[in-house]
């Protein structure tokens, strides 16, 4: 689904930023206002937001100060480092890339796949991780094209691992569905995939069922759609909300990797935000296979 900016808070500290020859640098009021406006626009902050500007300090670029700005939100803090021109006429947001490190290694090391439902060969050289919201229509679109591509074209070369990322602010039954899906995964991966396949292709029907019976809708759907499901055990698991801690951990993990919307894919650690077309999927998978030195079958 399209990216939705988190609610952001921003508070200005004192009007004196940094030091020049040992003296505080006084930023003109009009410049301070423009800095705040630029940061608000860059962060896509709502009207009630606030921005915290830190102390300016000498930078490696002689005509610019290093200016830290902290974006506060309900989900934590994110620090940006800007370059503020000493004549106060420019504010630059630079990006520094560490060429000594694999840029995708951090994501591969951060994402926990153990115990999560997986399709494909366990030894496949390419791992696709999908952060998924079972009520998200864009996730359904990605899910269908993803498995058509992987299952039909890549066979043993790719495995797909599903992670929970229910966006409860906009999808009221996403958490209920995730809890039920994960309870089924505790019974068997087949049970999970039967349920996930159904929901990704019947979201409107699921919405109608959930509107009639919040508590029991997804257990009933599982009883109808999942072969050999242990329904009494499922009811107990759902009633106790056993998977919720793991779902919250999956949400936190995704946010730490800058996932804010769904679907989000990581292909051998490379982040793709939003729906990829089948052509884009093939290009990304082929590149990952080439880097893994294994041509697809």
- The pLDDT of 173-202, averaged and rounded, is 98
- Pick from 7-11, 35-39, 59-63: least confident: 7-11
- Amino acid 108: pLDDT: 97
- Amino acid 26: pLDDT: 76
Q: Which domains does the chain carry?
A: 8-92 (no CATH), 105-291 (3.40.30.10)
Q: Pick the residue with more confidence: 59 or 255?
A: 255
Instruction: Give residue-wise pLDDT tens across range 271-292.
Output: 999 999 999 999 999 999 999 9
DSSP letter (8 states) at residue 188: -
Give CA–CA dist 182/246, Å, rounded: 9
Q: Which residue has the tokens 């300016």?
A: 56
- Amino acid 94: pLDDT: 86
Residue among 194, 215, 206, 38 at smallest CA distance from 117 = 194
Bridge partners (DSSP) of residue 69 are: 53, 80
Query: Which helix or strand (DSSP H or E) is residue 230 part of?
Result: none
- The pLDDT of 89-116, averaged and rounded, is 92
Q: Please give the full DSSP string across 265-287, using - where no structure is assigned.
A: EEETTEEEESPPPHHHHHHHHHH
Cβ count near 167 (within 10 Å): 18
* For residue 185, pLDDT beyond 50: yes
Give CA–CA dist 192/182, Å, rounded: 7
Q: How confident is the model at residue 183 (pLDDT cuts 50, 70, 90)?
A: very high
Instruction: Give residue-wise pLDDT tens across range 190-239.
Output: 999 999 999 999 999 999 999 999 879 999 999 999 999 999 999 999 99
* For residue 40, pLDDT beyond 80: no
Q: Sort 263 into a burial class: Cβ within 10 Å, 0-12 / 13-18 / 19+.
A: buried
- Amino acid 73: pLDDT: 66
120 Ramachandran zone, left/alpha/beta (phi>0; psi -120 to 50): left
Residue among 3, 279, 247 at smallest CA distance from 116 = 247
**Residue pair 133/165 in contact by the 8 Å Cβ criterion:** yes
**What backbone phi and psi angles, to 5 degrees, belong to 110?**
-85, -40
Give CA–CA dist 40/9, Å, rounded: 10
């Amino acid at each position: 689904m399209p990216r939705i900016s988190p609610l952001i808070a921003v508070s200005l500290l004192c009007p004196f930023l940094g030091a020049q020859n040992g003296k505080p640098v006084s930023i003109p009021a009009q410049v301070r206002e423009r800095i705040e406006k630029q940061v608000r626009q860059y962060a896509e902050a709502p009207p009630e937001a606030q921005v915290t500007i830190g102390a300016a300090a000498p930078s490696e670029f002689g005509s610019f100060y290093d200016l830290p700005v902290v974006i506060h939100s309900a989900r934590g803090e994110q620090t940006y480092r800007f370059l503020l021109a000493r004549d106060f006429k420019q504010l630059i947001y630079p990006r520094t890339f560490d060429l000594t490190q694999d840029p995708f290694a951090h994501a591969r090391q951060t994402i926990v796949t153990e115990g999560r439902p997986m399709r494909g060969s366990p030894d496949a050289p390419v791992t696709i991780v999908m952060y998924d919201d079972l009520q998200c229509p864009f996730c359904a679109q990605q899910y269908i094209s993803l498995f058509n591509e992987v299952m039909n074209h890549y066979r043993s070369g790719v495995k797909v691992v599903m992670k929970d990322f229910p966006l409860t602010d906009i999808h009221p039954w996403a958490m209920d569905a995730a809890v039920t899906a994960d309870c089924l995964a505790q019974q068997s991966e087949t049970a999970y995939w039967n349920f996930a396949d159904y929901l990704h292709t019947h979201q409107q029907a699921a919405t109608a069922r959930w509107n009639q019976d919040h508590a029991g809708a997804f257990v009933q759907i599982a009883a109808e759609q999942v072969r050999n499901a242990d329904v009494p055990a499922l009811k107990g698991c759902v009633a106790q909300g056993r998977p919720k801690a793991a779902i919250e951990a999956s949400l936190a993990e995704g946010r730490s990797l800058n996932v804010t919307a769904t679907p989000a894919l990581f292909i051998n650690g490379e982040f793709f935000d939003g729906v990829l077309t089948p052509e884009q999927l093939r290009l990304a998978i082929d590149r990952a296979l080439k880097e893994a030195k294994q041509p697809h079958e």
